[in-house]
Structure formats: C-alpha cells, structure tokens
C-alpha cells in the first residue's frame, strides 16, 4: 500500500499512536469513579474463505483444483477514552486476497483521535484526526469485519475489491455533525486528506507496467445520511473528489494525473424480519496530462444493485441480490473499447446474480456461503487475471467463509 510521503503511517507513526494510548492509560481518571483503564477496549476478528470458480480466478487460483484459500482477514483494534470528550482508536489489519503471503503483512487500517466538540441530547459535533475510514455508501466504513457485511463479498459494482485501497481510508481530518430530530437522525460527515493509492489501483490503471510512482494528492469526501423512525428507513448521499499524481520514470513519457469523482445514492428499508437495500453510483474517472494520448482517458461509469435479505430462526439469514456494473455509460456493451484496444468487450461490464446464506450459531461465530452467476469481468482483479483475453464472459463462483470475533 502506497501512502503519502508527507503523511505516511509508517512504523514510527504507528509507534507514536500506540505510545499515546499507553500515555493516556496512565493519566489520572477523568471521573471520580471511572479510571481511564476502565474505558480500554480490545477486540479482534478472523475470517477464512474458500473461493471456487469454474472459469476466471478470484482471490487466487480459484478455478484450479479445489479452489483458493487465499482470502483471509485478521484484525485487532483498541480504543481508549482518556477524557470524556476524547477517544483514541486504532485497528491493525492483515488481509490476503490472492497474491502471496507477503501481501498479508499487517497494515494500519485506521488510527485516529476523535474529539467531541459538542455532545448533548440534541446533537453531536466532532473531529477525527489521523487515518479515518471514508464515509462512502452504507458499508465502506465497516467493510473489513465480516459480521457487519450482508454477504461474504459486498456488491462489487460499488465496493470494488480490485481497487479497494482507493476507497478504504484517508490520512487527514474528518468532521462530523449529528442532529436528532423528532422523527429521525440527520448525520453529516466531511473529510479532507490523502487516500491510499495502492498497487491494486496501479494494476487496474495498467500503470504497473511503467516505471514510476503513483502518489495520492489531497482529496475530499463527504456524506449526508438520514435515518427515519429508528432506522426503519435510511437514506444517504456520498461524494468524493480524489486525485493522485503519477511520477513517470520512463524515458519519453511525461507525468500524469488520475482523478475519481463518484456520487452514490443509498436507500434502505428495514422491517422486523427483512431488509431491502439499493445503491446507485455514477463514477467519473480518468487519466490526464500524459504526453502519450494512449494513456489518457475520461469515462463515466454506472453502478447499481438491489438486495433483499430475510432473517429466520433467530440466527439465520438468506440474501438475493442483482448487481450491475458498466465501466463507460457511453459504451455499455464494450464494443467500442474492444475495437479501439483489442481487449474483450465483456471486460467493460459485469452483471452478477448473488444468492447467500448466513448462520450465526454463536454471537462470536459466523458461517456463510454464497453463489454468484456473473456475466462479464468488469470487476475481476487484474492481479488474478493478468491477461484479459484468457478470461471467460459467463462464469460462476462459490464462496464459503468462517468468521470469528472476540
């Protein structure tokens, strides 16, 4: 994962954060009866999945032999409240999604100081400083914990795993405002910082074949969210303006810039035993400023899904979802892309039917399975499928996952 040179969460910065936690733990209590150590919380989780595909690969050699076991998530988080208005929190995550064992090296998922400027019965106002999770759609801020996901894989048209680092988090400052109304709660979040322009983004943009560095620039993200009647109806609108600069080291090729400007509308209805969720996104992205026009592009993609979940027997839940991705609204079939680049037209879209089942035999144990039937390869990871011409348009995938938390 590549971070900003000016604000890099390296080992010294992580050590500084852990040192702050330790210092806070030995400071005097902020209440007469409550000591700081009484607010210390430690949690963790572990997930292991088996991925099986008939064609194409997803998170490792899933189409070979008995499938791939290269989808593992292990995380640990800690939080401490040294003052009633201050929260210090951090999470370290080891995640392997294909690749080799070195890709599972622990990374700082988030690490922040949360200061509540105002908190009363009507509203909360505060700031988060450090590495914060981006408020993007319904699931991005909790996407790493399997217990918070409705399925093993989130809808890939909105929550890309092939460019996961771009949407995941940012280093900077996030402000939040929450107003409790008579019929619901209105929340607003806005952040400024540097996103994580990792190797997955370079591979997707095909810049991994060119000597150089992709460095994130200062970006902005915001979300407004309304929850009505205790969360029976939830609506959100998310947007961002994300940029990165490619410093070329290839002779004859100038530097270039990447931009990503999405809008996401999210709606959800929750009944006692079922939920209906839908999200729709327009994604403007491109590369510009290269002196070789073959590298430059400007497209507006379209993504949406509709998902129905049903709870039964207290600890079971099933899901059905249709998920649609189009890389370019002006070339929905991908035919123009194929004639221009020679790549397969079906690499420019993906239509995914998903059927899933979850069982929670214990509050700390989750067992899940799901089936995907996919037309197109628009969200296949480039690492697992380096040659698009060797992929297949229509393919199927089975996933099984066991998750534990403590």
Per-residue pLDDT of the chain (406 residues; tens, 9 = 90+): 333 333 333 444 444 444 444 444 444 445 445 577 888 999 999 999 999 999 999 999 999 988 999 999 999 999 999 999 999 999 999 999 987 766 778 999 999 999 999 999 899 999 999 999 999 999 999 898 899 999 999 999 999 888 787 888 999 999 999 999 999 999 999 999 998 877 778 888 888 888 888 888 899 999 999 999 999 999 999 999 999 999 888 888 998 999 999 999 999 999 999 999 999 999 999 999 898 888 898 999 999 999 999 999 999 999 999 999 999 999 999 999 999 888 999 999 999 999 999 999 999 999 999 999 999 999 998 889 989 999 999 999 999 999 999 9
What is the model's pLDDT at position 21?
46
Burial 392-406 (b: 16+ CB within 10 A, else e): ebebebebebebbbe
> What are the two backbone dihedrals, phi and then psi, of residue 296, each rounded to the nearest 5 degrees?
-80, 140
| Bridge partners of residue 71, in order along the sequence | 49, 97
SS3 content of the chain, % helix, strand, coil (to 5): 15, 55, 35
CA distance 150 to 225: 19
What is the model's pLDDT at position 199?
78
CA distance 327 to 376: 11
pTM of the model as a whole: 0.87
CA distance 176 to 167: 18
> What are the two backbone dihedrals, phi and then psi, of residue 183, each rounded to the nearest 5 degrees?
-115, 0
Name the token pair of 298: 């400007």
State which CATH number among 2.40.160, 3.90.1530, 2.60.40, 1.10.357 fits the domain covering 105-405. 2.40.160
What is the model's pLDDT at position 102?
67
Q: To which H or E segment does residue 12 belong?
A: helix 11-25
For the beta carbon of residue 177, count every other beta carbon within 10 angstroms. 16
What DSSP character marks residue 340?
Answer: H
What is the model's pLDDT at position 101?
64
* Closest of 273, 375, 381 to residue 318, by C-alpha: 273
Burial environment of residue 246 by CB neighbours within 10 A (0 to 12, 13 to 18, 19 or more): buried
Q: Where are the beta strands (DSSP E) in 137-217?
A: 169-180, 184-195, 212-216
CA distance 78 to 111: 9
* Closest of 199, 171, 242 to residue 4, by C-alpha: 171
Helix boundaries (H) for 133-267 = 164-168, 199-204
CA distance 13 to 9: 5
Q: Do residues 375 and 354 lie in contact, with contact meaning Cβ atoms separated by under 8 Å?
A: no
What DSSP character marks residue 266?
Answer: E
């Amino acid at each position: 994962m590549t971070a900003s040179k000016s604000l890099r969460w390296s080992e010294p910065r992580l050590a500084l954060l852990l040192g702050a936690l330790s210092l806070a733990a030995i400071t005097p209590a902020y209440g007469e009866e409550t000591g700081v150590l009484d607010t210390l919380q430690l949690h963790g989780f572990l997930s292991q999945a088996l991925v099986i595909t008939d064609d194409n690969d997803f998170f490792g050699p899933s189409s070979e032999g008995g499938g791939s076991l290269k989808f593992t998530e292990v995380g640990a988080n800690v939080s401490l409240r040294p003052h009633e208005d201050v929260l210090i929190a951090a999470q370290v995550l080891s995640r392997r999604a294909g690749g080799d064992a070195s890709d599972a090296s622990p990374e700082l998922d988030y690490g922040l100081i949360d200061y509540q400027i105002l908190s009363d019965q009507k509203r909360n106002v505060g700031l988060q400083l450090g590495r914060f999770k981006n408020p993007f759609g319904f699931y991005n801020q909790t996407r790493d914990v399997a217990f918070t996901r409705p399925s093993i894989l989130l809808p890939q048209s909105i929550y890309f795993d092939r460019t996961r680092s771009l949407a995941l988090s940012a280093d900077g400052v996030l402000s939040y405002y929450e107003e409790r109304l008579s019929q619901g709660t209105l929340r607003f979040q806005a952040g400024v910082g540097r996103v994580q322009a990792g190797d997955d983004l370079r591979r997707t943009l095909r810049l991994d074949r060119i000597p150089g560095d992709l460095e994130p620039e200062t970006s902005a993200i915001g979300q407004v969210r309304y929850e009505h009647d205790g969360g029976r109806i939830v609506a959100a609108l998310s947007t961002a303006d994300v940029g990165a600069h490619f410093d070329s080291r290839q002779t004859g090729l100038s530097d270039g810039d990447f931009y990503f400007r999405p809008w996401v509308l999210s709606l959800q209805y929750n009944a006692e035993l079922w939920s209906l969720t839908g999200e729709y996104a327009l994604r403007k992205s491109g590369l510009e400023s290269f002196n070789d026009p073959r590298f430059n592009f400007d497209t507006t993609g379209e993504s949406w899904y509709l998902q129905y979940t049903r709870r039964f027997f207290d600890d079971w839940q099933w899901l059905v979802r249709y998920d649609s991705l189009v890389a370019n609204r002006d070339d929905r079939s991908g035919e123009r892309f194929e004639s221009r680049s020679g790549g397969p037209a079906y690499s420019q879209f993906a239509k995914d039917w998903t059927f899933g089942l979850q069982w929670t035999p214990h509050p700390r144990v989750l067992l899940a399975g799901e089936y995907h039937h996919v037309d197109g390869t628009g969200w296949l990871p480039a690492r697992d499928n380096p040659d698009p011409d060797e992929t297949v348009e229509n393919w199927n995938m089975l996933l099984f996952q066991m998750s534990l938390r403590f």
